[in-house]
Structure 1
Amino acid sequence: MNFFDVACQEPTLTHVEFGLCDDQNSTIAYTDMTDKSKWIATVKNDGALPITFTAIDKCVIKDNEHVGRGRCDGMLTTTASLFLVELKDASSHWQTGAIEQLESTIDFLKANHNIDTFKHKKVFACNKRRAGFAVIDNAENKAFFQKTGFRMDIQAEIIVVK
């Protein structure tokens, strides 16, 4: 399982803003620069850093692989950052499932790669219907970080830092 497989990566972007989309129709997640109505998450890249989007669900991990184990929709990487992203379009009871999918993806990722070179490691649970920031209990966030080594945000805005 190769999370850095170029066959699952889109060309590197340096746009200061773009969206992450999942049409929820059994196709892979993807980036978009023009149709904000399709965006589930907005990526803010004010430094215009080179950033790569990798489709995890249905590409790095195919539907028939590891059946019953969750995986997130995609991954954003720069030279310093690794962000795992779960994209939802649900009105209720979505956060727990999204976090479980992200945690499972972290386990897959760590089992197959050394990710110590990334300074910033974060997971994002994003929901088109709940675009605002959701407050995460500090104890829950701390426990997630201690368990996974990743910070967690439940919001539809992903800010890329140097």
Structure 2
Amino acid sequence: MNFFDSNCQEPPRDDELFGICDDQNGTKAYTNIDDNTKWVATVVNRKKVELVFTAIDACVIKSNEHEGRGRCDGMLTSEEHIFFVELKDQNASWRTLAINQLESTVRFFLEKNGLMQYRHKKAFACNKQRPHFQEIDQEEQMRWFRTYGVRLDVQAEVIVV
């Protein structure tokens, strides 16, 4: 499992605004600038940081690999940033599933790679049907940060700082 497999990466982009999409049909997630109706997550990149999107589900980790263990849809990386992103388009029971998929992916990542080189480390649970920030249990936030050194957000806007 190579989280930096060039076959799963898109060319770097530095757009100030773009979307991350998942067609919910078993194909890999992708970025888009043309059709915001497809966006599940919106990336706000005012500093125009050069970001690489890597499709994790259905690419880095194939559908038939590690059955029973979740994986998030993708990640955005730069020299200073690593953002794990899970995309949902549903109303009920999505949050716990999304967070579990993110946590499983972070554990997969840490088995092969380190996070020390990244200054900004976040995991985003994004839902097209519930785009606004949702409060996360402070204990869960602390557990994530203590365990992985990663901050957890439940919102459909990925803000690059």
* Residue 130 (structure 1) aligns with: 130
SS state at 1:145 partner: helix
Moved over 2 A (4+): none
* Residue 23 (structure 1) aligns with: 23
CA RMSD of aligned residues (A): 0.7
* Residue 119 (structure 1) aligns with: 119
* Residue 61 (structure 1) aligns with: 61
Q: 1:116: Cα distance to partner?
A: 1.1
Aligned equivalents of 2:11, 2:144: Cα separation in 1: 31
Aligned equivalents of 1:140, 1:82: Cα separation in 2: 20
SS state at 2:37 partner: helix
* Residue 105 (structure 1) aligns with: 105
What amino acid is aligned across from residue 92 of structure 2 in structure 1? S
Aligned equivalents of 2:68, 2:137: Cα separation in 1: 28
Q: 1:92: Cα distance to partner?
A: 1.2
Describe the superposition over 1:113-144 as per-residue Cα deviations: whole angstroms up to 9, x where unpaired. Answer: 12210111100000000011101122221112
Describe the superposition over 1:25-55 as per-residue Cα deviations: whole angstroms up to 9, x where unpaired. Answer: 0100000001010000000000111000000
**Is 1:8 paired with 2:14?**
no
Aligned equivalents of 2:119, 2:52: Cα separation in 1: 16
Q: 1:149: Cα distance to partner?
A: 1.4
TM-score by length of 2: 0.98
* Residue 43 (structure 1) aligns with: 43
SS state at 2:129 partner: coil
What amino acid is aligned across from residue 125 of structure 2 in structure 1? A
TM-score by length of 1: 0.97
Aligned equivalents of 1:100, 1:33: Cα separation in 2: 28
SS state at 2:142 partner: helix
* Residue 156 (structure 2) aligns with: 156
SS state at 1:131 partner: coil
Q: 1:146: Cα distance to partner?
A: 1.1
What amino acid is aligned across from residue 52 of structure 2 in structure 1? T
Question: Gapped runs of 5+ residues in structure 2?
Answer: none
Question: Gapped runs of 5+ residues in structure 1?
Answer: none
Aligned equivalents of 1:53, 1:83: Cα separation in 2: 9
Aligned residue-pair number: 161
What amino acid is aligned across from residue 135 of structure 1 in structure 2? E
User: Which is further off, 45-54 or 112-121?
Assistant: 112-121
* Residue 141 (structure 1) aligns with: 141
What amino acid is aligned across from residue 130 of structure 1 in structure 2? R
SS state at 1:106 partner: helix
